[in-house]
Homo-oligomer: A and B are copies of this chain.
Amino acid sequence: MKKFFLTALLGASLIANSSFAMTKPVKLVDQGSFFAGGTVIQSDGNYNPTDPKDFSGQTLHGDHAYVFYQIPVKAKKYPLVFLHGSGQSGKTWETTPDGRDGFQNIFLERGYATYIIDQPRRGRAGRSTLPENISARPDDQLWYYNFRIGIYPDVYDGVNFPRDKSSADQFLRQMTPNTGAFNQKIIADAMVAVFEKSGEGILITHSAGGGPGWETAIRSDKVKAVISLEPGTFPFPEGEVPPAEETTSPFPARGQSVSRADFLKLIKIPIVVYFGDNIPSGDKPVANWGQDNWRVRLNLALKWAQVAKKYGGDVEIVYLPDIGITGSTHFMMSDLNNLEIADVIETWLKSKKLI
């Protein structure tokens, strides 16, 4: 907290100049980046190098993920693999909008190797095999509301989001468009390939990263646990998908249907799911659609946990206010109390003997 107030007082220009923004120095034995997964498409005809206007027979390498990894000295057993959510890139996990350590630095400082992903058709993994129209329609306020920060430019009472204008500005610039349609299978394909490179690890997903994250855990035996922050959806065994609840949100919360065998594959690893604050309870839609969007998702999570437990799964749904942590937004990894959230996650990892 102290750091945040300092930043707010002294202005944003100091953020990058601070020589000790990291809580403590980190000795890296490796860092780098690579692309994982993806495919190649080719136009008809034969490649003709002599005519730059003739694109016959040329290829496009696309639909891969971009991965930036860092390995500190004496790294813990399992690396953490971070998959962002809707409209975001790997930036989600980096420096917070008010210039504090994000999960990338926090966990690196605690001795974890980190793998930060840009999913296929997003960010530095922008090369898509499908065309896309980007509208540039202003929609900051839609996301601000849906991310449960408040009603722009206001914030909800007690919410763990910085109050200064520069931080809100940085936060909104994290949005970056799809450069091709969202495709869960393509993202999961790439994530399976990421785990082939990282080796056995812990998958941490956020929001719309939840769906591809579950599919990745089903398909890769390298995923040893999933930590999911407000995932958008959940997979259920065929025939057990609950009906979608009515909501005032434009984004319905539908469960996904997977084979029972796949469902059992998923729930044989430990799974924990966290939801933040300002999520109404009950089965009645509320007028605030940005909050109602998460009411139906939290309800879906609870139904999913029931089914998972019925089949013997070691799964946990944590509504943070229930454990005394209030004010969390949809972006708990960059909230003012993100160190506290990291503690909660690390305590869970320890309890599952994953570190």
Taking Cβ atoms with an 8 Å cutoff, the residues of A that contact B are 13, 15-22, 25-35, 38, 40-43, 47, 49-50, 52-53, 55, 57-62, 64, 66-69, 71, 73, 89-91, 94-95, 99, 101-102, 105, 118, 122-142, 145-146, 151-152, 169-170, 172-177, 179-180, 196-199, 249-250, 287, 289-290
User: Does the CB pair A22–B33 fall under 8 Å?
Assistant: no
Contacts of A129 in B (CB 8 A): 136
Given the known inter-chain contacts A16-B197, A125-B176, A127-B173, please indicate yes or no for A249 contacting B29, CB distance below 8 A.
Answer: no
User: Of B13, B40, B57, B197, which contacts A15 at CB under 8 A?
Assistant: B197
Contacts of A17 in B (CB 8 A): 197-199
Contacts of A122 in B (CB 8 A): 126
**Which chain B residue shows the least CB distance to A197?**
B16
Q: Beyond the given A35-B170, A43-B138, A133-B133, could you list 9 further A-B residue pairs with CB under 8 A, ordered by the A residue number?
A: A16-B32, A27-B28, A35-B174, A42-B138, A47-B152, A55-B137, A59-B138, A90-B124, A122-B126
Copies of this protein, total: 2
User: Does the CB pair A250–B53 fall under 8 Å?
Assistant: yes
Given the known inter-chain contacts A26-B27, A105-B32, A128-B134, please indicate yes or no for A173 contacting B64, CB distance below 8 A.
Answer: yes
User: Does the CB pair A19–B30 fall under 8 Å?
Assistant: yes
Most buried by B among A60, A69, A122: A60
Most buried by B among A33, A35, A101, A134: A134
Given the known inter-chain contacts A49-B290, A95-B33, A197-B16, please indicate yes or no for A61 contacting B169, CB distance below 8 A.
Answer: yes
Query: A13 CA to B133 CA in the complex, in Å?
Result: 35
User: Does the CB pair A177–B22 fall under 8 Å?
Assistant: no
Contacts of A124 in B (CB 8 A): 89-91, 118, 123-124, 176
Could you jot down 8 A-B contacts, CB within 8 Å? Answer: A17-B199, A25-B73, A28-B28, A55-B137, A59-B141, A62-B173, A89-B126, A125-B173
Query: A57 CA to B28 CA in the complex, in Å?
Result: 46
Query: A47 CA to B154 CA in the complex, in Å?
Result: 13
Nearest Cβ in chain B — how far from A11, in angstroms? 11
Given the known inter-chain contacts A20-B30, A94-B32, A123-B123, please indicate yes or no for A41 contacting B138, CB distance below 8 A.
Answer: yes
**Which chain B residue shows the least CB distance to A130?**
B136
Query: A152 CA to B130 CA in the complex, in Å?
Result: 23
User: Does the CB pair B198–A16 fall under 8 Å?
Assistant: yes
User: Does the CB pair B173–A61 fall under 8 Å?
Assistant: yes
**Which chain B residue shows the least CB distance to A67?**
B16
User: Does the CB pair A27–B25 fall under 8 Å?
Assistant: yes
Nearest Cβ in chain B — how far from A353, in angstroms? 23
User: Does the CB pair B25–A19 fall under 8 Å?
Assistant: no
**Which chain B residue shows the least CB distance to A90?**
B124
**Which chain B residue shows the least CB distance to A102?**
B32
Nearest Cβ in chain B — how far from A161, in angstroms? 16
Contacts of A249 in B (CB 8 A): 52
Query: A177 CA to B105 CA in the complex, in Å?
Result: 29
User: Does the CB pair A177–B179 fall under 8 Å?
Assistant: yes
Most buried by B among A43, A94, A196, A249: A94
User: Does the CB pair B26–A58 fall under 8 Å?
Assistant: no
User: Of B61, B151, B250, which contacts A49 at CB under 8 A?
Assistant: B151
